Amino acid sequence: MFLPLKDDNPLNRIGFQFVTVALIAACTVVWIVQMAGGERFDAELIFRLGMIPVTVLGDLTREPDMVTVTPWLTVFTSMFLHGGFWHLLGNMLYLWIFGDNVEDAMGHWRFALFYLLCGAVAGLTHAAVEPASQIPTIGASGAVSGVLGAYFVLHPRRGVWMLIFFMPIRFPAWAVLGVWIGYQVINALADAGGGVAWYAHVGGFVAGALLVVPLRKRGVPLFDRGFVRTRRRTPYRPPPEAESPGMGPWEEQPPDPRADGDAPWQEPPATRPNGGGEHKGPGTGPWGRRPRGPWSRRD
């Protein structure tokens, strides 16, 4: 089991990923409609709105009563259809984790355009590889692959938490996405099949990596330029030396009672004006000893 859980990459330019959430909601609602209509309705909807390569790039046309939109529009409508719960969950999970930061780098409307363009390029890549195929192609995998390609170019050094055999482990994004696209390329070259349009994933990833450059906002760096990863734990630093044992320099020193010239054990300093050399008795300056009376306890 290899599933992404989250990434360590907060939003910096937008308050909330509205387009990402809207795309997830749209795909989820369409899937619920597919399931609620039954198997026959689901199959007919996929045939009407799914992308059939031979009808897009070939000469084959559909039956007039089965045409809902023109063949070229199915390149876009097919992005919102899914073949099952796990198909939907996998695509939406990747979109939720990686889509918000790509939307943050582009802005809402640019990200929406970017998503549709990546999905279209992915679908046309599959159609170009298999132009005679009469099997409908559905799913948001191509568009989500474009999001992964953009994230790879924008934030390769960010941390991504992966669930590997029920153990969460943190990897850099370049490693996670590099392994992912490598797996897609290997299966595409090996013609693995399995009902998966591997070339659509590869085409969408490349499209996303290229389109993010002109569509990102001005000033958004590529490849995490300027990013410095901070340590999780800061080393212990002892406080500055205290002015007295057990007391820091920020604490106010208590007044010293001996600093007052009125104390009986302290003579006025000889350097003070009008103080004279030796203290000869009371009244030698305003700071001298007070006159002692019979009531004084100092006698």
Cα 64 vs. chain centroid, distance in angstroms?
47
Q: Which residue has the higher pLDDT, 284 or 64?
A: 64
| pLDDT digits 0-9 by tens, 197-247 | 999 999 999 999 999 999 999 999 999 987 776 655 555 566 665 445 555
Q: What CATH code is carried by the domain that includes residue 12? A: 1.20.1540.10
Confidence of residue 176 (pLDDT cuts 50, 70, 90): very high
Give me the phi and psi of 45, to 5 degrees please: -65, -40
Tell me the HSE value of 214 on the side-chain side, using a 13 A CA sphere: 5
Instruction: Taking the CA atoms of 183, 188, 193 and 195 in sequence, report the sign of the dihedral they define.
Output: positive
Look up the domain containing 8 and give its range: 2-215
Q: Is 95 domain-assigned?
A: yes
Q: Is 184 domain-assigned?
A: yes
Q: Is 228 domain-assigned?
A: no
Question: pTM score, two decimals?
Answer: 0.75
Q: How many domains is the chain built from?
A: 1
Q: Does residue 297 surpass a pLDDT of 70?
A: no
- Alpha helix locations (H) across 155-285? 173-189, 198-215
What pLDDT score does 242 carry?
47
Q: Is 72 domain-assigned?
A: yes
Q: Is 51 domain-assigned?
A: yes
128-147 burial code (b ≥16 CB/10 A, e <16):
ebbeebeebbbbbbbbbbbb
Q: Is 173 domain-assigned?
A: yes
What pLDDT score does 63 carry?
78
Residue 213: CB atoms within 10 Å: 12
State the average pLDDT over residues 90-114.
97
234 Rama sector, left if φ>0, alpha if ψ -120 to 50, beta otherwise: beta
Q: Is 85 domain-assigned?
A: yes
Residue 169: CB atoms within 10 Å: 11
Q: Which residue has the higher pLDDT, 191 or 179?
A: 179
- Cα distance between the two ends of the chain: 93
What pLDDT score does 256 carry?
63
What pLDDT score does 248 carry?
53
Q: Does residue 299 surpass a pLDDT of 50?
A: no
What pLDDT score does 265 carry?
54
Coil vs helix vs strand at 141: helix
What pLDDT score does 123 carry?
96
Q: Is 287 domain-assigned?
A: no
Closest Cα partner for 122 from 147, 92, 100, 105?
Answer: 147
Mean pLDDT over the full length of the chain? 84
What pLDDT score does 75 carry?
95
Task: Find tokens 């370049």 and name the residue.
Answer: 174
Residue type, 180: W
State the average pLDDT over residues 61-72.
83
Q: Which residue has the higher pLDDT, 293 or 255?
A: 255
Whether residue 150 contacts residue 208, with contact meaning beta carbons closer than 8 Å, is answered with: yes
